[in-house]
Amino acid sequence: MAMSMLATKFHVPAPRRHALARPRLVDPLLSDSREDRKLTLICAPAGFGKTTLLSQWVRRVRVADPGVRVAWLSLDAGDNDPARFLNHLVAGMHGVDAGIGSGAKALLDATQAAAAEPVLVALINDVAQAGAAFIVVLDDYHAVEARPVHDAVAFLLDHSPPQLHLAMASRSDPPLPLSRLRGRDQMTELRAADLRFSAQEAGAFLNECMGLSLSAEHISALEARTEGWAAGLQLAALSLRGHADVPGFIDAFTGSNRFILDYLVEEVLQRQPDHVRSFLMRTAILDRLSGPLCDAVTAQGGSSAVLNHLERANLFVVPLDDRRQWYRYHHLFAEVLRARASHEEPELQKPLHRRASEWYQHHDLLEDALKHALAARDVERAGALLEAVLPAIRRSRHDATLRGWLSALPDHIVRGNPVLSVFYAWLMLTSGDLDAVEERLQDAERGLAEASRDGERTRNLPGGLKAESEEFRALPVTIAVYRAALAQAAGDVTGTAAHARRALELCGPGDHLSRAAAAGFLGLAAWARGDLDTAVPTFAEVAPNLHGAGNIADELASTMVLADMWMARGSLTEARRLLEQALTAADSAGIASGPPTADLHVGISALYCESGAPAAARAHLESGITLGEAASLPENLYRRFVVMARLQYLSGDPGRALELLEEAERRYLRGFFPDVRPIPAMKARIWIGQGALREASDWARARRLSAGDELTYLREFEHLTLARLLIAEQEADPNGSLGGAFDLLERLLQAAQASGRGGSVNEILVLKAKAYQVQGRVGLALEALEQALIRTEAEGHVRLFLDEGAPMIALLHKAAAERICPSFVSHLLHAANTGETVPATPRGTDGMPVQLSERELQVLRLLDSSLSGPEVARQLFVSLNTLRTHTRHIFEKLQVNSRAEAVRRAREHGVL
Amino acid sequence: MTGHMPHGHEPGHYELRVEGHLDDHWVEWFEHLELTRASDGTTALRGPVADQAALHSLLNKVRDLGMVLISVRMIGPSAGSVGDH
């Protein structure tokens, strides 16, 4: 039943039997090349024949081009929910061409709150690929008021391929970039003045289509009185059919000041037999009409026959399907009928709505039942209906729709219903109104306590409704999960873990979403404490449960977090395996163009950077960026800038790297994740690598860091950066002391070892080795280095060593001489020579050949040209200052003082 | 009144004038605005309107009935202080 109701939404109305062919309007629409015009807009008040014209045009287009695809959507207030609108659009297009919309549908199914853009992009690509002309008709577009839906349509217009054409009918100008489309001649527009019937058209309509035989004088009088308004002419024709006194009617009508609709509808109604008249008045409350539904509402039989009669008599019913099961009244006519009915039979309105509601309920169309229950002010039943329909609407993620229903219910109904209270709390939680959440959760708990006191085990709702008791039974779990989320948002790690643990205790094995959420909160809380031994196995439960709940997009997004945890544990290979596996899964789920696919690419890119494979890193970064921001989760967007910065740094442009990190800072959103690698500390590491120690120590001071600090995991990255700074200061001033660096490293090491943070252990060992090397204590340095090498050889963590610059390279040479981990060391030294090494490395100590970074080589090649400095900078997309930095490094490395000398020396060394 | 609310966020009395004489049955439809038929063949709909959103919803009703809207004006600041008729 629900499916056939949905189908009525896509029904292309057959041109009306008595409609007038209007070649003066349709012909220009046909001859306008659809390839150049993106939009046909028919904009006029109610009753001007917009829908009729569109359907006539569609029929003619099909005759002229049988291959054309037409998807017709009759919009209504429900389409203000963007998720619902997108679902309708995709289903409508998929319905006429099965080759279109599978990807978009997969995205809608896989995503918790589907972003519109990837879905639209998938649709657009399908249409472009299919090649056939595709017309999407959006009828009654004025029903849409929600900005996100307008944005989606504007996006579709902006990006529509030549094959795709939009046509819309609306009572008011849609808030779309119309002036731009007009300016570019990309739009065909018909307005009220165009749609108005001319005297000649009025004559043809009245006499030929409606079978009257009026004189030219009468025709022109009617045309003048109705001002060519189609609905007016049609009503006049209906009133005149079989009228004994035609001149009398026309005189009275044209001489009356009454609102034309009042006058004519009354005329038409008076000419109906009593039973038809009362049928019209009593069924006007219905958006859709079927025989059985009307029988129930009017409490009389024979409605199907009445509907057939109305259609044959052309009395403003529009068939909604080919089998003549469902009809609707012409909107304008329905509104007049409703106004009259509520005036003439006010006491009947509530019972009518109640009967409609009950009929819909018994036919499992619960949303329609809910709507009429609200109209009947039957709030108890409305609350029960909302509870019953809630699981289904939540599954289809029509959040805006639910928000609308909830706000239509009186507050005491919501508060008295535990399921609705918890759902309300969820809405508050997702909209960021955290203060309101706890109160609603307490309302729910009160309701639950009463229910259990009454011994109510199954959920019997008023009106014989049975809600999905699953939802009800799961309430205590859901409440605990939301409390965990609240505690998380408040930064209360202990509270988060306590509520999450309670949720896990309470929930059954099949309650996937709650399990995923609880495991997620517990895992994240353990991660924030730095307890990776707990965090990894706990958080690993998240993805399978999200998978079990059918939430693929979030499953993949959670894999990003798990990969980060494996990275903290020191396993690049496991992190990469997880991300690559997720990428494959995204592909086979058909959501390769949606979130979080771009994030997965960026994550893999970051890992390739660390294993010293910049080419692979670049390729993945590019894939991620090409997919666009829409294929990323907002809280992951900053990551692409971090990786870009990393690659720029590795290719010898620390200035650009710093700029990109600043961009990353601007994009940073914490979300639910602990900030374990703060971006300012990443910047400090670049300063340290460049020898800009003053900037770095300003940072350390601003962050109040000192070697004697108490240690927490959330500051570990900063403390490791501080240790680097202390070592670099010693390196710069051999008379200085290491300022407690060894003690700091030792304490960091113990903490990291105790909690399974293998990645930190590796980094600390490398820093210890470097510190000893800087102090000239080579034996101890090699000892620490050897431990680090053994631990990381299998992971191939190249940058861990090479990032530490010249002292580390020198130490690695010594390790090579001592035959320590010979194959990994030779791999590292090879990478140091061939890969992109750290910039600003002091030139060839130990008689090493001159090493220029890839970026420096690019600069050098351009210096070997007639381009001026600013031109070179432009060519490289860098500032003049950055170019100067590069040039200075090149001059230092080549030990020259001028551009010409640099080029000559580079040739001698075979670098150019 | 010590301060002034931004325009339109408080209730006000409005008059909508449309072409043609409306029948009485529209009174309920237009949320019980007072309906006055003028000798020039127009109808004035007068009464309190909660805020701008409510005003726009009234205008949508006028639009959806294909009525010709002639004017909209505010005729009084708040409920209970309607002046002219």
Residue A643 token pair: 């990786």
Q: How far apart are CA A800 and CA A678, in angstroms?
A: 18
C-alpha radius of gyration, chain B, whole number: 13
pLDDT at res. A394: 77
Alpha carbon of B8: minimum distance to chain A alpha carbons (Å)? 20
Percentage of residues in chain A with pLDDT exceeding 70? 94
Smallest Cα distance from B4 to chain A, Å:
28
* Cβ contact B25–A260 (<8 Å): no
Which amino acid is present at A346?
P
Residues of B in contact with A266 (CB under 8 A): 23
Residues on chain A touching B64 (C-beta within 8 angstroms) = 46, 171, 331-332, 335
Dihedral sign for Cα atoms in the order A793, A798, A804, A807: positive
Contact A172 B25 (CB under 8 A): no
- Chain B, nearest residue to A225 by Cα: B20
Residue of chain A whose Cα is closest to the Cα of B18: A259
Q: Is residue B61 part of a domain?
A: yes
> What is the band of A322 on the pLDDT scale with cuts at 50, 70, 90?
confident
Of A224-228, A665-669, A895-899, B39-43, minimum mean pLDDT range: A895-899
Q: What is the pLDDT of residue A456?
A: 55
Min Cα–Cα distance to chain B from A314, Å? 20
Which of A47, A260, A338 has its CB closest to that of B20? Answer: A260
pLDDT of A839 reads: 33
Q: What is the DSSP letter of A318?
A: E
Determine the residue among B30, B65, B68 to mutate to test chain A binding: the one whose Cβ has the most chain A Cβ atoms within 10 Å: B65
Mean pLDDT, residues A43-64 taken together: 92
Residue A911's closest CA among A853, A839, A871?
A853
User: What is the tens place of the pLDDT at every residue in A164-192?
Assistant: 999 999 999 999 999 999 998 899 999 99
- pLDDT tens per residue, range A792-836: 999 999 999 999 988 899 999 999 999 999 999 999 999 888 764
Over the stretch A242-269, which tens digit does the pLDDT of each residue have? Answer: 788 999 999 999 999 999 999 999 999 9
Q: Are A93 and A167 in contact (CB under 8 A)?
A: no
Token pair belonging to A800: 């861990």
Would you state the pLDDT for residue B84?
41
Per-residue pLDDT, averaged over A579-589, amounts to 90
A10-24, A280-294, A434-448: range with highest mean pLDDT: A280-294
B64 with A260: Cβ contact below 8 A: no
The answer to whether A258 faces chain B, any CB pair under 8 Å, is yes
Which two structure tokens, joined as six digits, stand for A226? Answer: 């109705």
CB pair distance less than 8 Å for B66 and A257 = no
Identify whether the C-beta of residue A556 lies closer than 8 Å to the C-beta of residue A600. yes
User: For residues A422 and A429, what is the distance between their CA atoms, to the nearest angstrom?
Assistant: 10
Q: Is residue B3 part of a domain?
A: no
Q: Quote the tokens at residue A224.
A: 């003048």
Nearest to A375 by CA among A363, A392, A360, A394: A360
Is it the case that residue A688 has pLDDT exceeding 70? yes
DSSP-derived secondary structure letter, A9: H
Exposure string over A31-62, b if 16+ CB within 10 A, otherwise e: eeebeebbbbbbbbbbbbbbbbbbbbbbebbe
In angstroms, the CA A610 to CA A504 distance is 37
Per-residue b/e over A432-465, b at no fewer than 16 CB within 10 Å?
Answer: eeeeebeebbebbbebbeeeeeeeeeebebebeb
Contacts of A234 in chain B (CB under 8 A): none
Q: Check if the beta carbon of residue A268 is closer than 8 Å to that of residue A317.
A: no
The dihedral formed by the CA atoms of A224, A226, A230 and A233, expressed in degrees to the nearest 10 = -90
Q: Are A203 and A235 in contact (CB under 8 A)?
A: no
CATH at B68: 3.30.70
Its domain, for residue B64, covers 12-76
What is the reported pLDDT for A35? 66
Residue of chain A with shortest Cα separation from B59: A172
CB contact under 8 A, B63 and A46: yes
User: What confidence category does residue A112 fall into, taking pLDDT thresholds of 50, 70 and 90?
Assistant: low
Q: Where are the alpha helices (DSSP H) in A348-433?
A: 349-362, 366-375, 379-395, 399-408, 411-415, 418-430
Per the structure, the count of domains in chain B is 1
Least confident of A222-236, A344-358, A405-419, A895-909: A895-909
Q: How confident is the model at residue A843 (pLDDT cuts 50, 70, 90)?
A: very low
Set of chain A residues whose Cβ sits within 8 Å of the Cβ of B65: 46, 261, 332, 335-336
Task: Check pLDDT > 50 for residue A558.
Answer: yes
- In this predicted structure, what is the pLDDT of residue A172? 93
Quick one: closest CA in B to A227, which residue? B68
A229 touches chain B (CB under 8 A): yes
Query: What six digits make up the tokens of A613?
Result: 């494979």
What's the Rg (C-alpha) of chain A? 36
Residue A744: which of A770, A726, A762 has the closest Cα?
A726
In this structure, of A95-109, A467-481, B58-72, the range with the lowest mean pLDDT score is A467-481
CB contact under 8 A, A343 and B27: yes
Quick one: average pLDDT of A542-568? Answer: 91
Using CB atoms, which residue from B21, B28, B66 is nearest to A258?
B21
Sheet holding B42-49, edge to edge: B34-37, B42-49, B12-19, B69-76
Number of H helices, E strands in chain A: 50, 9
Do the beta carbons of residue A563 and residue A579 sit within 8 Å? Answer: yes
Average pLDDT over every residue of A156-168 = 92
Closest to A814 measured CA to CA, from A770, A875, A754? A770
Q: Is A76 on the interface with B (CB under 8 A)?
A: no
Secondary structure (DSSP) of A838-876: PTTPPS-GGGPPP---HHHHHHHHHHTSS--HHHHHHHH
Residue B38 at interface with chain A, using a CB cutoff of 8 Å = no
C-alpha distances (whole Å) from A610 to each of A558, A792, A873 are 22, 12, 29
A827 in contact with B, Cβ within 8 Å: no
**pLDDT confidence of residue A13:** 78
Give me the pLDDT at residue A54, please: 94
Q: What is the pLDDT of residues A492-551, one digit of tens each?
A: 888 999 999 999 999 888 888 889 999 999 999 899 889 999 999 999 999 999 998 888
At A510 the pLDDT is 85
Nearest beta carbon to residue B65 from set A46, A257, A344 = A46
List the 44-73 stretch of B: residues with Cβ below 8 A of A: 63-67
Q: Note whether residue B4 is domain-resident.
A: no
> Does B81 map to a domain?
no
For A285-319, write each residue's pLDDT tens digit.
999 999 999 999 999 999 999 999 999 888 888 89
pLDDT confidence bin for A840, thresholds 50/70/90: very low
Residue A466's DSSP bridge partners are A460
Question: Which residues does A687 contact at the CB level (< 8 Å), separation at least 6?
Answer: A693, A695, A696, A699
A849-887 pLDDT per residue, tens = 567 777 778 888 888 877 778 778 777 767 676 787 778
Q: What is the pLDDT of residue A462?
A: 61
Does A171 lie at the interface with B, CB-CB under 8 angstroms?
yes
Buried b (16+ CB within 10 A) or exposed e, A563-578: bbbbbbbbbbebbbeb
Query: Which residue among B25, B29, B63 sits closest to A45, beta carbon to beta carbon?
Result: B63
Spatial neighbors of A811 by CB under 8 A, at least 6 apart, are A769, A770, A773, A778, A781, A782, A785
In a domain, B83, yes or no: no
Q: Using CB atoms, which residue from A48, A259, A338 is nearest to B20?
A: A259
Of residues A903 and B85, more confidence is placed in A903
Report CB contact under 8 Å: B26, A258.
Answer: no
Which residues of A, range 294-353, sit inside 8 Å of B by Cβ?
331-332, 335-336, 338-340, 342-344, 346
Q: Record the tokens describing residue B84, joined without a space.
A: 């002219």
More confident residue, A4 or A224: A224
Quick check: A460 pLDDT over 80? no
pLDDT < 50 positions in chain B: 1-6, 79-85
Of A172, A229, A342, the CB nearest to B66: A229
Query: What is the pairing mode between strands B69-76 and B12-19?
Result: antiparallel
Within chain A, what is the greatest distance between any pair of CA atoms?
Answer: 119
pLDDT of residue A845 exceeding 50, the answer is no
Number of cross-chain residue pairs from A and B with Cβ atoms under 8 Å apart? 62
